[in-house]
Amino acid sequence: MEYQKTFGADEEIRGADLPIDLKLPAKRILDAGELRVTAVATHHGDCPSVAYRVDSNNESIVFSGDMDASALPNLIGLAKGCSLLVFHCAVLDPPNSPTLLYSLHTAPKHIGEAARDAGVKRLLLSHIAPDVEAASRSVLQSIQASYKGPVGFAHDKLRVRDVSALR
């Protein structure tokens, strides 16, 4: 029963309400000594969505999740000065992706501006759509027009052991 060590035993699950209204402030949802997790509402079409920041010792990683550009002020606030921002990159700059997708995802130009405005130390792109992968050079150029730090493309099964070693 490797998938669940407590199989058959009593379990306790503690839930936390997540901030899903863009007007709500970021909320600390876990405070376990060195490990702290903070959530803030983002926006993904008509689905509630949330970005997370994980702080541990001197490192901090922010996960955008799926979000469109309307939630960037919240994301920028959450990501201020973080070690690594993992941002979903599923669309090309307008008008090169279907219009509907811009109400779900953030374009590279705005990803770069957000990374710059938040002063993040590194940017890792994830949730990479095939057309984004095929245009990776222009995606990178669009981001680097505003963000001057290191930018990487994530790939399946990527493990980051040392954030500062990530290029």
- Residue pair 132/139 in contact (Cβ under 8 Å)? The answer is yes
Residue 149's closest CA among 126, 130, 166? 166
- Residue 92 per-residue DSSP state: P
Q: Per-residue x/- mask for Zn ion, residues 10 to 39, rule CB under 5 A?
A: ------------------------------
Looking only at residues 125 through 144 of this chain, which bind Zn ion when binding is defined by CB under 5 A? Answer: none
Does 66 interact with Zn ion (rule: CB under 5 A)?
A: yes
Q: How far apart are CA 63 and CA 53, in angstroms?
A: 6
Does 68 interact with Zn ion (rule: CB under 5 A)?
A: no
Q: Which residue is nearest to Zn ion (CB)?
A: 66
Shorter beta-carbon distance to Zn ion: residue 55 or 93: 93
How far lies 60's CA from each of 8, 18, 48, 92, 116, in Å? 36, 20, 24, 27, 16
Stretch that binds Zn ion, among 32-40, 58-66, 108-116, 152-160 (CB under 5 A): 58-66
Positions touching Zn ion (CB under 5 A) are 66
